[in-house]
Amino acid sequence: MKPKERRQQILNRLRAVQQEWKINELARSMRVSPLTIRRDLDVLSTSGTIVRTIGGCLAVARVSNPAYQQRVAVNFEKKAAIGLAAAREVRKQDSVIISDGSTTFHLATCLGQCGPITVYTNSVAMIGEFSRFPNVELYIVGGKYDAGMFVLGGSLMERVLETIDADIVFVGADAIDSDGRCLAIDHDTARIVQLMMRSARRKILLADDTKINARGRMAFASLRDFDLWITTLGIPHSLMKTFRKYTTIKDVSP
């Protein structure tokens, strides 16, 4: 990995999980020496994007939501790999809808090199990420603000979504059952994702292997409704064989 790419990965970690990261933690997660990480942190500190601490670093202070950041931190490496792979599906001049979610958040951190694109999202948490990218024309799909989830929703947003015609929609799922049903944690989330999917021509699901038979209440789609599912290695072979009958699957390694 080139130094510039590695430093961006460090920033992604700091911004997604707003806590102090120790040099040794970063070195292990990125498979480089502590000395290499120290040099990267020196560069980032000089640019004003991080604050050095004794043995580690912090992101420069931004809007904080501990509950949301905890969600983003779970299975961090898997979600980051999915986000990077998803960004490769975006082309210059695309209009893209991105649903709120801890996995789709990782996609947001990777869209700075895609050329000029237009992004629609209901995620408040993603605003800070897109503000770093001059290539992104950002539209926040307005609605009722849920401070706990860092997201916008409600009937107002539903009416706005009905007016959008996008090239790609990226959505996550709280669970995928053995029949290939994609589930959300509640009815409102399921409804919003359904509307987003209707507003785009190409539909891509972002969900790692831990979502298989996880907890979910409301079905919003089937794997058959997606053009592509980006996931991670770890799904049992027998299930994967069945799932591949429903849609195209790209499995990535953290």
**What would the pLDDT profile of 117-154 be if each residue is shown by its tens digit?**
999 998 888 887 888 889 999 998 876 666 655 566 66
Predicted pLDDT at 184: 95
Predicted pLDDT at 68: 66
Predicted pLDDT at 55: 78
**What would the pLDDT profile of 163-188 be if each residue is shown by its tens digit?**
899 999 999 999 999 999 999 998 98
Domains 3-59 and 67-252 equal at CATH topology level: no
- pLDDT-above-70 percentage for the chain: 89
Range 67-252: architecture per CATH:
3-Layer(aba) Sandwich (3.40)
Predicted pLDDT at 149: 56
- 3-59, which class in CATH? mainly alpha
**Taking the domains of the chain in order of start, what are their residue ranges?**
3-59, 67-252
Predicted pLDDT at 14: 82
Task: Identify the band that residue 45 occupies on the pLDDT scale cut at 50, 70 and 90.
Answer: confident
Task: Identify the band that residue 79 occupies on the pLDDT scale cut at 50, 70 and 90.
Answer: very high
Contacts of 231 (CB under 8 A, 6+ apart): 82, 207, 208, 209, 211, 249, 250, 251, 252
Return the SS3 of 180.
Answer: coil
Predicted pLDDT at 168: 98
Alpha-helix runs per DSSP H in the chain: 3-16, 23-30, 34-47, 66-73, 76-87, 102-108, 127-130, 155-161, 187-198, 237-243
Instruction: Say if residue 64's pLDDT is above 60.
Output: no
